[in-house]
Amino acid sequence: MDLSQKSRKALEYDKITEMLALECSCEESAALARALVPFDDIEKARHAMRETEDACRLSLRFGGPSFYGLKNIKNQLHRAKIGSSLNPRELLDVKSVLYAIRTLSHYRETSESMETCLDGYFDNLAPNKYLEDKIDSAIISEDEIADTASEELLRIRRAKKRTEERARNQLEKIIRSPQTQKYLQEAIITIRGGRFVVPVKAEWRAEIPGLVHDTSASGSTIFVEPMGVVEANNELKVLSSKEEKEIERILDELSKEVGTFADSIKESADTAVLLDFIFAKARLAFKMKATAPKLEADGGIELHKARHPLLDPKTAVPIDLYLGGNFDTLVVTGPNTGGKTVALKTLGLLTLMACSGLMIPTAEFSRVVFFEKVLADIGDEQSIEQSLSTFSAHMTNIRDILDECGENSLVLLDELGSGTDPVEGAALAVAILEYLKQKGAKTAATTHYAELKVYALQTDRVENACCEFNVETLKPTYRLLIGVPGRSNAFAISKRLGIDDAIIDRARELISSEDSRFEDVVQKLDTTRQNMEIERGRAMLARTEAEKLKKQAEELKKSVEREKEKELEKARREAKRLLEQSRAQAQMILNEIEALRKMKDTQDAAELRELAKTQIGAHLKQFERIADPVKEKPAEPYKLPRQLRPGDYVLITDIDKKGTVLKAPDSSGFVEVQAGIIKTRVRIENLRLLDENKQQQKLQSSIKTNIDRSKIPAKNELDLRGYTVEEALIEVDKFIDNAQLAGIGVLSIIHGKGTGALRSAIQRHLKSHRAVKSFRLGHYGEGEDGVTILELK
C-alpha cells in the first residue's frame, strides 16, 4: 500500500506504531514496530494477520512467552567470530540471549499441542545449553570471574589467599606487639600500590625497617612495607599477574566458543526478535480488545462497533461504518464536535492497521478492503510560512489526492469545501466528489453544506450519514447514522438557549422555501428513523428473550452433561484408587517373597514358606474383595478410642494388613505406618487400633521364632550413585531396616558429589528417620562430601 507522509500524520498511524513499540521487550523488536507500514500485497497482510491471531491464541491458552534477556548482541557475535576477545559484560549478554532462546524453545514444547503458523519460527530456534552453562559457570558478574572457571585459576587464587594470610599474620604481629605498637599511627593494615603496609609515625620511621610506599597529605604518617612481608608481597604481585593472565585466557577461550556458534546464535536471536514483535502485536490487540477482520481484495468495508484505538475504550462510543457495498461515496454531516472527524479517522486508521497485520478494535465479522492507496485531508493545514490560508492548504492537498487516486483508493476528506464562500465551496465540493466517483475511488467526506446532502439523496451510489445530536441536552451522542442526512439544528439549539421566539421566527422567514422544505423532509425522516428504532428495540428485546430461553435450555443440557461427566470421573477415580491398592498389595507380596528368597537357606525357611502360602492366600482373597467395587458398608462407622501415637499397632482395613504407627496423623488425615518391611501413608479412617500388649508379645515372639540375625543378608555400605532421589530414598529405608535386623550400628551411604541434590535429599530424609541417631559427611579417606556416615539408635 502506498501511504503518503501527510496521510500517515493525518490519521495518526505513527501513534499506533509507537504503542506497538512499547509492547516490545527489546530495542530491536521495538525498531521493527516503529518501522511497520501497511503491506504492498494482500497475501502478505493476510499472513501477518494470521501470525497475530495465532500469537493471541497461544497467549490465551498457554500464557504469553517470556522474552526476558533478549537484546542486541550482533556486535559481540561479529567480534567473537573474527577472533576478538569479549569482556565479561559482553559474554553475560550472550548468555542472556541464549537463555531467552532456550526459554522460547521450551515454551513451544509446552504448547506443541496447538498447531500454528508460528511453528516455523519456533523450529528455527537453536538453544545452546552447553555454551550458556559454560559462560554461567565461569562468570559471576561483569566484575568477577568464578574460581571454578578453570583449575589453574582456582590453584592461583588458593595460593594467593595463603600468601595474603601469611603477609597479614606477619603484619598482625607488628601491630599487636607492644614494642612496635607505639611507633604506629594506627594499629591497622592497609594497602598501597597493591602491597600490604602499615601506617608509621614519621618521627619513628627508622624503628620499622622496610620500604616506604606513600605518605599522608600532612606528612605525619608514612606507609611502610616491613621487610618481613616484602617477599610475601612480591609473591602476591606475581600471583596477581598470573591471575590476570589466566582470566584473559578464560575470556579468550569463551570468546572463541561464542565465535564458533556465532551464526547459529545470530539466526536464533533474529527469530526471537521477530517472535517478540509478533507477540507484541497480540499484546496490543488484548489491550485494545481487538479482533481480526476479514481482509478482502475488493468489495465493501464493514466495521461493526468500531472504536478509535487512541480513545479511551471505556468512554468511546462504538460506531458502525460501511463503505463500498451499496454505495462508494459517504457524505457525513452534523454539528461541530459531534464526532464526524473521529468517524473519518476511525475508518482510515483501522484500514491501515488491518493492512499492516494488526487486529482492530471492532466486533467480530468486520471486513476491511485492501486498498492500494489511502489518501486523507484531515485537519487544519494553514501555513504561515508558505502564505497559505486554510482553504488554500486544503485545496493543495486535494489537488495531490485527485492526481494520485484511482480505482483501488480510499479517500478521506474532512470539511470539504470549507473556508471560502459557501455557495462556491458547496459547488466545488460536489464537483470534487463527482470526480472521485468517476475515478472509482471509495470516498468518505464530512461537510456542513446542505447542497451535499441533496447531492447524496439524488445521486446513485452516494449515501448520506450524520452524527446524532440530542437537542434536549444540547450534546452530541457520537452515534453515526448511515442513510440519514444531518440537520443543522441551529433554530432548535438557539431556542433551547433562550433566544427570543420572534427572532427565531424571523430567521425562519428569511431562509428560502426550498431549504425550509428540505429541512422539513429531513425532520420527517429523522422522526421516522426514531420510530423505527423504537420498533427495532422492541424486536431486539423479543429476540434477546428468545435467545435467553435458548441459552437456558443449552445450559440445562450442558449441566446434565457435566453431571454425567462428573459421575464418570468419580468412577474413574474409584477405579484408580482400587488399582493403586491392588498394586500396593502386590508389592507387599513381592517384597515378602523376596525376603523369603534371601532367607531360603535358613533353618526356618520351611516354616516361613508355609506362613507365606497362608498370607498369599489371604492376599488373593483381598484382591478379589478389592476387585469388586460394590462393598457392604458397616452399620456404624468405626471411631478410634483415642488419638493414634507412634508405636501403636493398627489394622489397615482396606488391605487387611497389620502394622505399626510411625508418625502421628498429619493435618490432611494421613498416618505413616510400617507394615512388614513396607512403609506407607494411610488415611486415618482406614485404620483400626489393636490391643497393644498382645501385638507386642506376638511381634516379639514372631521375631524370636522366625528371624536369625546372623543369617540376615546385610551390608554396612550402600552405593546410590546414578539413582534418582525417589529410588534412592526407597533403597535407604531398606538398607537401614536390614541393618537394624542384622544389628549393624554404623552405616555408609555413597551418594557422590555432583550437584549435591541427592546428598541434600538423603540427609533431609535421615533427619526425620526414627532409627537414625546421628549422621555426618565423610572425613578425609572416607569419601569426604561424596559419603554420609550414619549411626543407628
Residue 433 CB coordination number (10 Å) = 25
Cell of 82: 573474527
> Is 540 a domain residue?
no
Cβ–Cβ under 8 Å, residues 648 and 661: yes
Residue of 59, 66, 89, 90 lying closest to 77 (CA atoms): 90
* Spatial distance between the Cα atoms of 607 and 586, rounded to a whole number of angstroms: 22
CA-to-CA dists, residue 514 to 448, 506, 511, 517, 530, angstroms: 17, 16, 8, 5, 24
Query: pLDDT tens, 433-457?
Result: 999 999 999 999 998 888 888 888 8
| Residue 217 and residue 111 in one domain | no
Residue labelled with grid coordinates 511497520: 36
Q: Quick one: pLDDT at residue 633?
A: 45
Query: pLDDT tens, 286-318?
Result: 999 999 999 999 889 999 999 999 988 888 889
Query: Phi and psi at residue 748, in whole multiples of 5°?
Result: -120, 130
pLDDT band of 89, cuts 50, 70, 90: very high
Provide CB contacts within 8 A for 78, sequence distance 6+: 262
Report the binding-site residues. Answer: 334-341
Q: How far is CA 655 from the centre of its chain?
A: 46
CA-to-CA dists, residue 27 to 39, 276, 335, angstroms: 22, 10, 44
Q: Quick one: pLDDT at residue 622?
A: 54
Q: Of 46-60, 191-205, 373-387, which range is least confident? A: 373-387
This prediction's pTM: 0.62
Report the binding-site residues for ATP. Answer: 334-341
Q: Of 215-224, 492-501, 507-516, which range is least confident? A: 507-516
From 685, 711, 737, give the residue that closes a domain: 711
Q: Is the pLDDT of residue 710 over 70?
A: no
From 711, 729, 756, give the residue that closes a domain: 711
pLDDT band of 26, cuts 50, 70, 90: very high
| Residue 719 and residue 690 in one domain | no
| Residue 20 and residue 55 in one domain | yes
- Domain enclosing residue 651, as ranges: 635-711
DSSP letter (8 states) at residue 84? P
Query: Phi and psi at residue 2, in whole multiples of 5°?
Result: -90, 120
Q: Of 505-509, 627-631, 726-730, which range is least confident? A: 627-631
* Spatial distance between the Cα atoms of 649 and 695, rounded to a whole number of angstroms: 7
Residue 101, amino acid = I
Report the CATH number that the domain containing residue 678 is assigned in CATH. Answer: 2.30.30.30
DSSP letter (8 states) at residue 314? T
* Spatial distance between the Cα atoms of 423 and 335, rounded to a whole number of angstroms: 19
Query: pLDDT tens, 133-174?
Result: 999 999 999 989 999 999 999 999 999 899 888 888 888 888
> Is 642 a domain residue?
yes
Q: Is 687 helix (H, G, I), strand (E, B) or coil?
A: strand
Report the CATH number that the domain containing residue 365 is assigned in CATH. Answer: 3.40.50.300
pLDDT band of 92, cuts 50, 70, 90: very high
Report the CATH number that the domain containing residue 10 is assigned in CATH. Answer: 1.10.1420.10
| Residue 339 and residue 464 in one domain | yes
* Spatial distance between the Cα atoms of 711 and 600, rounded to a whole number of angstroms: 10
Q: Quick one: pLDDT at residue 530?
A: 59
**Total count of domains within the chain:** 5
Residue 199, amino acid = P
Q: Of 523-532, 605-614, 659-668, 696-705, which range is least confident? A: 696-705
* Rounded mean pLDDT, 171-190: 80
Cell of 568: 464418570
% residues pLDDT > 70 (the chain): 81
Residue of 286, 342, 335 lying closest to 319 (CA atoms): 342
Cell of 58: 497461544
DSSP letter (8 states) at residue 484? -
Residue of 325, 375, 305 lying closest to 483 (CA atoms): 325
Residue 62 β-bridge partners: none
| Residue 366 and residue 270 in one domain | no
Residue 711, amino acid = K
Provide CB contacts within 8 A for 333, sequence distance 6+: 340, 446, 447, 448, 452, 453, 464, 465, 466, 467, 485, 486
How many helices (H) and strands (E) the chain has is answered by 23, 25
Residue of 272, 287, 291, 286 lying closest to 118 (CA atoms): 272
Cell of 551: 441459552
Residue 693 CB coordination number (10 Å) = 8
DSSP letter (8 states) at residue 632? P
From 669, 689, 711, give the residue that closes a domain: 711
**CA-based diameter of the chain, in Å?**
131
Residue of 256, 243, 270 lying closest to 71 (CA atoms): 270
> Is 256 a domain residue?
no
* Spatial distance between the Cα atoms of 285 and 60, rounded to a whole number of angstroms: 12
Q: Is 706 helix (H, G, I), strand (E, B) or coil?
A: helix
* Spatial distance between the Cα atoms of 376 and 237, rounded to a whole number of angstroms: 74
| Residue 112 and residue 176 in one domain | no
Q: Is the pLDDT of residue 594 over 70?
A: no
| Residue 111 and residue 65 in one domain | yes
Report the CATH number that the domain containing residue 774 is assigned in CATH. Answer: 3.30.1370.110
pLDDT band of 614, cuts 50, 70, 90: low
| Residue 282 and residue 350 in one domain | no
Q: How far is CA 451 from the centre of its chain?
A: 57
Print burial letters for 151-182: b (CB count within 10 Å at least 16), e (below 16): eebeebbebbeebbebbeebbeebeeeeebee
| Residue 668 and residue 697 in one domain | yes
H or E element, residue 568:
helix 513-598
Cell of 638: 468405626
Mean pLDDT over each residue of the chain, to the nearest integer = 82
> Is 612 a domain residue?
no
Torsion of CA 446, 449, 453, 459, to 10 degrees: -90
Residue of 361, 364, 344, 342 lying closest to 353 (CA atoms): 361
Query: pLDDT tens, 272-292?
Result: 999 999 999 999 999 999 999
CA-to-CA dists, residue 281 to 269, 275, 361, angstroms: 19, 10, 13
Angle between helices 230-260 and 88-110 (to 10 degrees): 40
H or E element, residue 469:
strand 462-470
> Is 511 a domain residue?
no
* Spatial distance between the Cα atoms of 196 and 709, rounded to a whole number of angstroms: 66
Q: Quick one: pLDDT at residue 652?
A: 84
pLDDT band of 774, cuts 50, 70, 90: confident
Cell of 299: 468489495
| Residue 706 and residue 718 in one domain | no
Residue of 307, 640, 354 lying closest to 480 (CA atoms): 307
> Is 541 a domain residue?
no
Q: Quick one: pLDDT at residue 524?
A: 52
Q: Is 606 helix (H, G, I), strand (E, B) or coil?
A: helix
CA-to-CA dists, residue 612 to 588, 741, 789, angstroms: 11, 19, 35
Q: Is 530 helix (H, G, I), strand (E, B) or coil?
A: helix
H or E element, residue 191:
strand 190-192
Query: pLDDT tens, 406-428?
Result: 889 999 999 888 878 888 888 99
* Spatial distance between the Cα atoms of 625 and 655, rounded to a whole number of angstroms: 9
* Spatial distance between the Cα atoms of 621 and 623, rounded to a whole number of angstroms: 5
Cell of 769: 528417620
Q: Quick one: pLDDT at residue 531?
A: 63
| Residue 205 and residue 266 in one domain | no
| Residue 751 and residue 697 in one domain | no
> Is 252 a domain residue?
no
Residue 671 β-bridge partners: 682
> Is 581 a domain residue?
no
